[in-house]
């Protein structure tokens, strides 16, 4: 029997690397996309440790030409793509007042348009076969507006909306859409995401609370291989769902925000004292940040 073919974008670290390796050890032919083949040594070493064979494709999801050429190469080599995991992405810290439109566009070009490029490259052959699965990795920040991360939040909310519409668009063709919504997962993205562009000085409190949230999250961060296993489940289960919250804080933050009124959400932002803010956060989400 021919192995199903999966493409995992952003396979060089974190959730992408773990997912590529997990799928490769569970019967998939896996093509992992990386921006530079020369920087994939850790990925290849980890794959070897797991006795997982990966095919690597140099691809920049921020470029129309790169995605078109890279995924055409995959389809030519493998003959098909059964599963696309849109994992590659970037962070983005800023409050709205001090975030230039160019930063919103840069983050959206990667986190939203990158996924769109890849989806458009693989869908025609999935639709012709009447089968396939698109997995979009969003974030808890796609369901609740994480503090002082306006460009990142905006991009992930957009990807949530794209995914919800896509699921209905593709249902007649037998193509499944799954949205993975991680909380804090062990990943290099957090080490890189340390900017605090507080030009006015008015938002010290916001950035302090942002970094306190991630400091707590990283101390309890979920192994990315757990997310890889969840993605495999979402692809293969006989009882699929559209959305899968996961990792530290995932379910708590999404469910807590759904229980809150908008008025309560806004009021939480008015607490000037950190202790009062952290107490309100704990009451709403069951997570102790203090």
Tens-digit pLDDT profile for residues 124-152 = 999 999 999 999 999 999 999 999 999 99
Please give the positions annotated as active site: 152
Contact 183, 246 (CB under 8 A): yes
The reported pTM is: 0.96
Element (H, E) at 54: strand 54-58
CA-closest candidate to residue 6, choices 280, 236, 172:
236
- Dump pLDDT digits (tens) for 173-221: 999 999 999 999 997 665 555 667 777 889 999 999 999 999 999 999 9
Domains of the chain in sequence order: 5-203+222-249 (3.40.50.720)
CA-closest candidate to residue 22, choices 38, 6, 1:
6
Would you give the end-to-end CA distance of the chain in angstroms? 54
Element (H, E) at 137: strand 132-137
Sites in the chain below the pLDDT cut of 70: 1, 188-195
Tokens standing for residue 50 = 């797991």
Tokens standing for residue 215 = 């400091």
């Amino acid at each position: 029997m021919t192995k199903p073919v999966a493409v995992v974008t952003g396979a060089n670290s974190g959730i992408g690397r773990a997912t590529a390796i997990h799928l490769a050890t569970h019967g998939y032919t896996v093509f992992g996309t990386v921006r530079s083949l020369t920087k994939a040594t850790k990925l290849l070493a980890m794959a070897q440790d797991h006795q997982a064979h990966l095919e690597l494709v140099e691809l920049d999801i921020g470029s129309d030409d790169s995605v078109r050429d890279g995924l055409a190469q995959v389809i030519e080599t493998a003959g098909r793509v059964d599963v696309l995991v849109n994992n590659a992405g970037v962070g983005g810290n800023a409050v709205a007042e001090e975030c230039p439109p160019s930063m919103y566009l840069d983050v959206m070009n990667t986190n939203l348009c990158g996924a769109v490029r890849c989806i458009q490259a693989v869908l025609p052959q999935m639709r012709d076969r009447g089968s396939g699965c698109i997995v979009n990795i969003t974030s808890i920040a796609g369901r609740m507006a994480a503090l002082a991360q306006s460009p990142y939040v905006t991009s992930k909310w957009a990807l949530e909306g794209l995914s919800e519409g896509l699921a209905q668009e593709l249902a007649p063709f037998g193509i499944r859409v799954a949205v993975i919504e991680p909380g804090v997962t062990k990943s290099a993205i957090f080490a890189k995401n340390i900017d605090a562009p507080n030009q006015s000085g008015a938002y010290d409190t916001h950035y302090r609370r942002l970094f306190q949230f991630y400091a707590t999250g990283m101390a309890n961060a979920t192994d990315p291989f757990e997310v890889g296993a969840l993605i495999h489940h979402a692809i293969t289960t006989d009882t699929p769902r559209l959305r899968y919250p996961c990792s530290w804080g995932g379910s708590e933050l999404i469910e807590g925000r759904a229980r809150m009124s908008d008025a309560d959400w806004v009021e939480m932002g008015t607490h000037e004292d950190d202790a009062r803010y952290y107490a309100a956060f704990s009451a709403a989400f069951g997570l102790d940040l203090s």
